[in-house]
Amino acid sequence: MPISGTTDGRLRCVLPFKAAPVEVRLLRNAAMRQLTRWGMPTAVDEAEVVITELATNVVKHVGDGTAAALVLEWRSGRLRLEVHDRSPVLPVARKTGCYDECGRGLHLVASLTADWGVRLTAVGKAVWCEVPLSSGAACCRVERAVGALEAYQSTGGTLERQGRSWETSLEESAVELIAGLLHWTAARGHDPDDFLDRAQTCYEAEADAA
């Protein structure tokens, strides 16, 4: 079950998983769905490879069935990925003969990211890396949209969401806010369908240019 939210302007999601080959695929798919929900403009392919390598390393070097977690964090021009596990043993990207077996993953991570590292945690360690993103208009628009939706929620304009996830709450807020904007256009004598068509045209033009 993903745990999502915002902190100081950051979009953040935690995806717990068990270290097992089948779980790596499920984790990768869940992470790609989350990045799609955020409207991640670039670097999704790089993130998919990095997530696969980091999760696979947990399976190989920490142990099958070990509890672990992937943390996704998007802030401004970068995507930060962290894989937490319960082993205090720090990995090393080796340059000698065992490269194909135990060093390939970290070398690949290093080649696809702006920076990476390892830190000890209270229960084990976290391997982290940062993927650079485009700072184009799409990224800015998504960040502004999230801020607008959270502000809309804080005014009490949404339905009761007891026990619902942050993602579901935000999605419902988006629907309600769009409906409210359509009422606003109609109250001023405009055609809501015309506004939707214009918004769609603007979105498609910016998506094609990204």
Q: What is the pLDDT of residue 185?
A: 84
Could you tell me what percent of the chain has a pLDDT over 70? 70
Question: Which residues of the chain are in CATH 3.30.565.10 domains?
Answer: 3-132
Q: Is the pLDDT of residue 71 over 90?
A: yes
Could you tell me what percent of the chain has a pLDDT over 90? 29
Going by the DSSP 8-state scheme, the letter that residue 91 receives in this structure is P
Q: What is the pLDDT of residue 162?
A: 45
Indicate the length of the chain as a whole number.
210
Distances 4 to 1, 37, 84 between C-alpha atoms, Å: 10, 11, 16
SS3 category, 206: helix
Q: What is the pLDDT of residue 18?
A: 93
Going by the DSSP 8-state scheme, the letter that residue 92 receives in this structure is -
Q: What is the pLDDT of residue 100?
A: 42
Q: What is the pLDDT of residue 97?
A: 41
Is residue 19 within 8 Å of residue 55, measured between CB atoms? Answer: yes
Q: What is the pLDDT of residues 5-14, one digit of tens each?
A: 555 557 899 9
Chain mean pLDDT for the chain: 78
Q: How far apart are CA 44 and CA 127, in angstroms?
A: 19
Token pair 């696979």 is at which residue? 56
Q: Is the pLDDT of residue 50 over 60?
A: yes
Indicate the angle between helix axes 166-187 and 192-209, nearest 10 degrees: 130
Q: What is the pLDDT of residues 184-210, one digit of tens each?
A: 888 888 898 988 988 888 777 766 665
Q: How far apart are CA 116 and CA 40, in angstroms?
A: 20
Structure tokens at 179: 């409906």
Question: Of 5, 37, 36, 34, whose CA–CA distance to 17 is shortest?
Answer: 34
Per CATH, the homologous superfamily of domain 3-132 is Histidine kinase-like ATPase, C-terminal domain (3.30.565.10)
Q: Is the sign of the CA dihedral 56, 60, 61, 63 positive or negative? A: positive
Q: What is the pLDDT of residues 136-181, one digit of tens each?
A: 555 556 656 766 776 776 665 444 444 456 567 777 888 888 888 8
Q: What is the pLDDT of residue 17?
A: 95
Q: What is the pLDDT of residue 101?
A: 43
Q: How far apart are CA 123 and CA 136, in angstroms?
A: 38
Taking only Cα atoms into account, the Rg of the chain, rounded to an integer number of angstroms, comes to 20
Contacts of 88 (CB under 8 A, 6+ apart): 120, 124, 125
pTM, two decimals, is: 0.61
Q: How confident is the model at residue 118 (pLDDT cuts 50, 70, 90)?
A: very high
Q: What is the pLDDT of residue 55?
A: 93
